[in-house]
Structure 1
Amino acid sequence: MSYQLYSHTLPSATPGTHRIIKAHHFGEAGAHPKIYFQAGLHADEWPGFLVLNTLIKKLIEADEKGLIKGEIIIVPVANPIGLGQNFHGYIPGRFAFSDGGGNFNRNWPQLGSKVENQIQGNISGDVEENIAIVRQAIKKELAQLPELTELQGLRKTLLALSMDADEVIDLHCSGEACMHAYVAQEFEEHFTPLLDLLEAEVALSELETGAHSFDETNVSVWRHLKTHYAHMMPWGCRSLTLELRGENDISHELAEKDASALMKYLILRDVVAGEKPKLKKQKVTFYPLDAMDLVKAPVAGIACFHKSLGEPVEAGEVIGEVIDLMADDVTQSAHPLIARANGVFFARFQRRLVVCGESIAKIAGREHLAFREIGHLFED
């Protein structure tokens, strides 16, 4: 049996306290293919917790039968710092309260240039050898990252567990949403089978968002090096952010369905032995991220949506309204929410009391939107 559970203690933020990250390891360390999963980097997004808990149980059974062929690492609770933000039962969990604050899934360390400096003169026509050289250089650079604070320790720990993986799958969710994913354009074909198994119909595709998110950071070194070494530098890692529907879409039934799909994907990628799953093929549609309309609240008030998630919409169509509770004339208090893209209404705020200017709904469109700026495609 190869299953191992490791605990990683983060630097203590205050006297008498400490937080830990637990990582579940399957297969021989250093074996490939290696796939890394994590959930809850945004600590207010919880469906992935139960999905990975269910997947771990399935992998323990597979391990007992000797079916693990590659390496799998699962971090089911990736952000104990954010989970500690408990205010009278409410856990915001998306933004750090220390270390300068900021979104937990933004501005991760970028190692591309440093790795490039290390490997100069060592790259050859042997692509497998090149991958090994780069992974060793990444390991050295990761060791140099600071870990004086909790947040630094968290980032260093998660990157050390994931950056030598062939695939990184980061589980998130939206307020209310259909199953969807954020995928780099280069990986659309590669991850189509995964999205097929998960029955996702929407995926947002981009070259680079500018957010330096966790999943982008895991491939950023390879993207950087490919601009210099082209075909001699293959993708040593592919990644995506998987959005498991909405915050309250949590049940044993959904977790079993999603974990079973992930298990089939591990079999498909020869990380676990078993009969290859049959794919439905091409159910998912990829929409450019710069064509995604972020519908904003025109006033503060109560949001009411007329369209259901998953429905098609057209530019100019009213998908809902916000009621201005402070309007002098209540008969004129409804302000329409107007789509600016032709596509699919796939996500919206769970909270119905909204602030003026907030992005409260998302529409996956097909044509570039002039107000969407490449390199700045996430607002938070």
Structure 2
Amino acid sequence: MSYQIYSHVLPSATPGTQRILKAHHFGEAGARPKVYFQAGLHADEWPGFLVLNTLLRQLKKADDAGLIQGEIVIVPVANPIGLAQNFHGYIPGRFAFSDGGGNFNRNWPQLGAKVEKRIKGDVTGDIESNIDLVRQAIHEELALLPETTELQGMKKTLLALSMDADELIDLHCSGEASMHAYVAQEFEGHFKPLLALLGAKVGLSELETGAASFDETNVSVWRDLKAHYAHLIPWGSRSLTVELRGENDISNEFAEQDAQALFDYLVLREVIAGKSPAIDDSDVEYYPLDAMDLVKAPCAGIVCYHKAIGEEVEAGEVIGEVVNLMDDDVETSSYPLVARTNGVFFARVQRRLVVCGESIAKIAGREHLAFREIGKLFED
């Protein structure tokens, strides 16, 4: 048996308080491939909690049977800071209240330039040695990151657990949505089997979002280095963000289904011994992130949708309406939500009371939209 649980204590934010990150480890340390999972970085997104809890039970059985060949690290609750934001039963959990605030999944430390400076002059024609060289440099740079505050400590710990992984899978969800994922363009083919196993038909393909999100940060070092060294430094890490449907899509049935998909993927990647699953990925389609239409509320009010999640839409089609409760004339108080692209209506906010100008629905399109700015493709 190789199963170990480690508790990582975060710096105390206030006297008498202390939070931990609990990491579950399977396989021998340093075994390859290494795959890292986490859930709940946005602490208001909970489906991944149950999925990883279910996956842990499956992995314990596989470990007892001696089937773990690589290394697996799972952090089922990645953001205890956000989970503590409990206001009369409501957990906002998306933005930090300390360290300047901000989205928990934005502006993570970027180490590419520092790692490149550290390895300069030591890169050789031996690709495997170069991978080890980069991972060691990453390890040394991570050790220098500050951990004075609770949030700094959380970020540093999560990066230390994940940045030497061959693959990283970050579990999130949307308000109401079909299963989908955000995938770097370079990894579309690599992760297509995973999307197929999860039943995701929509993949949002990105190159550089400008968000410095957790999953991007794990691969940004390698992307930066490849710009300098090309084939001499291959991808030492691949990552993606999986959106596990909507906030309320939580059930034992979904958890079993999704955990089995993740387990099968680990078999496919030979992290776990077993017969590789048969995969039909013909329904998986990638859509450029800069072709995604963010449908905005034309006024404040109550939103009603005319189209269902997963339906195809056409540019100019009305997908819903917002009723302005303050209009004098109730006969003309409904304002249409108009699609600006052909594609798939795949996500929307769960709230039905919306604010003027906020993005309330997402349509995955196929053609670049002029109003979508490269480098600023995510909204908080």
- TMscore range, shorter length: over 0.9
Q: Which AA in structure 1 matches 2:150?
A: E
Report SS of the residue matched to 1:360: strand
Deviation at 1:200, TM superposition (A): 0.4
Counterpart residue number, 1:316? 316
Q: Which AA in structure 2 matches 1:121?
A: G
Counterpart residue number, 2:19? 19
Counterpart residue number, 1:214? 214
Q: Deviations over 1:25-69 (max 9, x none)?
A: 000011110000000000000000000000000000000000000
Whole-Å Cα distance in 2 between the matches of residues 255 and 279 of structure 1? 20
Report SS of the residue matched to 2:7: strand
Report SS of the residue matched to 2:170: strand
Query: Does the aligned pair in 2 maintain the 1:192–1:282 contact within 8 Å?
Result: no
Counterpart residue number, 2:36? 36
Q: Deviations over 1:146-186 (max 9, x none)?
A: 00001000000000000000000000000000000000000
Deviation at 1:236, TM superposition (A): 0.1
Deviation at 1:244, TM superposition (A): 0.1
Counterpart residue number, 2:153? 153
Query: Does the aligned pair in 2 maintain the 1:295–1:362 contact within 8 Å?
Result: yes
Report SS of the residue matched to 1:260: helix
Q: Deviations over 1:109-147 (max 9, x none)?
A: 000000001101111111111000000000000000000
- List aligned pairs for 1:1-380, cutoff 5 A: 1-380=1-380
Deviation at 1:268, TM superposition (A): 0.2
Deviation at 1:379, TM superposition (A): 1.4
Query: Does the aligned pair in 2 maintain the 1:3–1:26 contact within 8 Å?
Result: yes
Q: Which AA in structure 2 matches 1:230?
A: A
Deviation at 1:282, TM superposition (A): 2.5
Query: Does the aligned pair in 2 maintain the 1:159–1:218 contact within 8 Å?
Result: yes
Report SS of the residue matched to 1:379: coil
Q: Which AA in structure 2 matches 1:294?
A: L
Whole-Å Cα distance in 1 between the matches of residues 202 and 281 of structure 2? 14
Query: Does the aligned pair in 2 maintain the 1:139–1:160 contact within 8 Å?
Result: yes
TM-score (norm 2): 1.00
Whole-Å Cα distance in 2 between the matches of residues 284 and 136 of structure 1? 36
Q: Which AA in structure 1 matches 2:363?
A: I
Q: Which AA in structure 1 matches 2:334?
A: A
Whole-Å Cα distance in 2 between the matches of residues 230 and 45 of structure 1? 37
Task: Give aligned-pair identity as a percent.
Answer: 78
Q: Which AA in structure 2 matches 1:196?
A: A
* Length, aligned pairs only: 380
Q: Deviations over 1:198-242 (max 9, x none)?
A: 110000001110000000000000000000000101000000000
Could you list the runs of 5+ residues in structure 2 that have no partner in the other structure?
none
Whole-Å Cα distance in 1 between the matches of residues 281 and 362 of structure 2? 25
Deviation at 1:329, TM superposition (A): 0.3
Whole-Å Cα distance in 1 between the matches of residues 214 and 165 of structure 2? 13
Whole-Å Cα distance in 2 between the matches of residues 28 and 94 of structure 1? 34
Query: Does the aligned pair in 2 maintain the 1:68–1:271 contact within 8 Å?
Result: yes
Q: Which AA in structure 2 matches 1:363?
A: I
Q: Which AA in structure 2 matches 1:202?
A: V
Whole-Å Cα distance in 1 between the matches of residues 282 and 269 of structure 2? 18
Query: Does the aligned pair in 2 maintain the 1:302–1:354 contact within 8 Å?
Result: yes
Report SS of the residue matched to 1:191: helix
